[in-house]
Structure 1
Amino acid sequence: MNVHAILAIYKFEMARTFRTVWQSIVSPVISTSLYFVVFGAAIGSRITEIEGVAYGAFIVPGLIMLTLLTQSTMNASFGIYFPRFTGTIYEILSAPVSAFEIACGYVGAAATKSIILGLIILATSWLFVPIQIAHPLWMIGFLVLTAVTFSLLGFIIGIWADGFEQLQIVPMLIIMPLTFLGGTFYSTHVLPPLWQKIALLNPVVYLVSGFRWSFFEVADVSPAISLGMTLVFLVACLAIIWWIFRTGYRLKK
């Protein structure tokens, strides 16, 4: 494995993040804080608890997951699309660097950015409500696994996209709505029985539920099922990326 190549790509992407720290770090944290203030104050005044957890604390895992999913996808998609847009991707492809090493560099940087954001938002939430993490190792593990998985998805989107507008389609029009409908601000147990079954078709439900369990031991579905669904999605993304480099899809003209 060419570790130097992976680190070169990784450091370049991380340096770009710190050059645009207001856009990459500060802006998402402020946006999530506003979600917390608006939903926590407006709805929290009417709903004091959900399944024995104060509403303000209950929505924290969902808000972290909302940021994690969107930022992982957007960071990774832009990271690989920009070299395609400028033509520098061909320099990377002609270098003695494997597809696995290229993906590791870009996906690793995107996942790192998202994890940093998630931890900052977690620290910020303590300014608003007291939070206790019942299973910190599970929380960290699930945070990393989700960030890597959706960074892989973003990597796929960045190769598929023909323009900057297409980069926004999946994060803004698919992932964000699914996150809002996936139990970010509520438990699916409060839904009517029919809608509870329909909600299980939303893959984000499993992500939010598993992550919330690590905080409060409260979940809409079994944590084992949440972990299994995430691993299935991870393997599917890895298979697609392998096929992309195998066939040269949108990389070779």
Structure 2
Amino acid sequence: MNLQAIRAIYLFEMSRTFRTLLQSIASPVISTALYFIVFGSAIGQHMATIDGVPYGAFIVPGLVMMTLLTQSIANASFGIYLPRFTGTIYELLSAPVSVVEVLAGYVGAAASKSVLLGAIILVTARFFVPFEIVHPVWMVAFLVLIAVTFSLFGFILGLWADGFEKLQIVPLMIVTPLAFLGGTFYSIDMLPGIWRTVSLFNPVVYLVNGFRWSFYGASDVSPGVSFGMTFVFMALCVGVVTWMFRTGYRLRT
């Protein structure tokens, strides 16, 4: 294992984040804080409790998860797309660095940024709504696992995209709608029977509910199923990335 290569990639990506703090950290935190103000503090006071949890506190895990998904994808996709765009990717491909080491550097940095952002949002949320974390260890486990998984997905997106426009298509047209329809602002048990069944085909439902369970000990789906679905998706992403590097897909052309 080339630890020096991993460290070099990781530190380079992290330094890019700290050079653009307004864009990387401040912007998503402010955007999420607006959700807490509108839905948590203003509207939440007039909403009934859900599973015994005040509405303002109920949406905290969903909002953190929505930010985590979008930022993990954005950080990882841009991190690997930029070297492709500038041509410096060929230096990486010619270096004695394995796929595992490349993933550890890029995905590790993207996941670290997302976990840091999630922690900042949780602290920010305490200023607007009171909430408890029943299972803090499981909360951290979910946070890290989902950050790594969607950073892998973002890495795939960065290899697949052949233009900056395509970097935005999947997050805006697929991930964001799935996040809004995945129980971020409501419990899927509140939906009519047919729509609840349809919602179970949305993978984000399992992520949001698993994360919410770690906060309040209750969710619409089993936390074990949530962990299982996340691990399956992560394994698929690892397989796709490995295939891309072995075949040189969008890397050597």
Q: What's the secondary structure of 2:185's corresponding residue?
A: coil
Checking the alignment, whether the CA contact within 8 Å between 2:73 and 2:153 is kept in structure 1 is yes
1:194-244 CA distances to partner (integer Å, 9 max, x unpaired)? 111000000000000000000001101000000000000000000000100
Q: How does 1:1-253 map to 2 (within 5 A)?
A: 1-253=1-253
> Per the alignment, in what secondary structure is the counterpart of residue 168 of structure 2?
helix
Shift of 1:44: 1.3
Shift, 1:47, TM fit = 1.2
Provide the rounded CA distance (Å) in 1 between the counterparts of 2:127 and 2:50: 21
- Give the partner amino acid of 2:47: I
Q: What CA RMSD, in Å, does the superposition of the two structures yield over aligned residues?
A: 0.8
Unaligned stretches of 5+ in structure 2?
A: none
Asked if structure 1 preserves the Cα contact closer than 8 Å seen for 2:80 and 2:155, the reply is yes
What is the alpha-carbon distance in structure 2 between the residues aligned to residue 42 and residue 159 of structure 1? 42
Q: How many residues align?
A: 253
SS at match of 1:65: helix
5+ residue gaps, structure 1, are: none
Q: Give the distance between the partners of 2:226 and 2:106, measured in 1 at CA.
A: 26
Deviations 1:171-204 (Å, cap 9, x if unpaired)?
Answer: 1111011000000000001001111100000000
Q: Could you list the per-position Cα deviations for residues 63-107 of structure 1 after superposition, in whole angstroms to 9, with x for gaps in the alignment?
A: 000000000001000000000000000001101111111111000
Aligned residue type for 1:85: F
C-alpha distance in 2, partners of 1:41/1:117? Answer: 21
Q: Following TM superposition, where does structure 1 have runs of at least 4 consecutive aligned residues deviating by more than 2 angstroms?
A: none
Q: Distance in 1 between matches of 2:104 and 2:161?
A: 20
Q: Distance in 1 between matches of 2:104 and 2:166?
A: 23
Rounded to whole Å, the distance in 1 between the matches of 2:43 and 2:229 is: 30
How far is the alpha carbon of 1:41 from its aligned partner? Answer: 3.8
Cα distance in 1 for partners of 2:192, 2:228 equals 26
Assess if the C-alpha contact under 8 Å between 2:32 and 2:63 holds in 1.
Answer: yes
Measured after TM superposition, the shift of residue 42 of structure 1 is 4.5
Quote how far apart the aligned CAs of 1:166 are: 0.3
TM-score (norm 1): 0.99
> What TM-score comes out, normalization by structure 2 length?
0.99
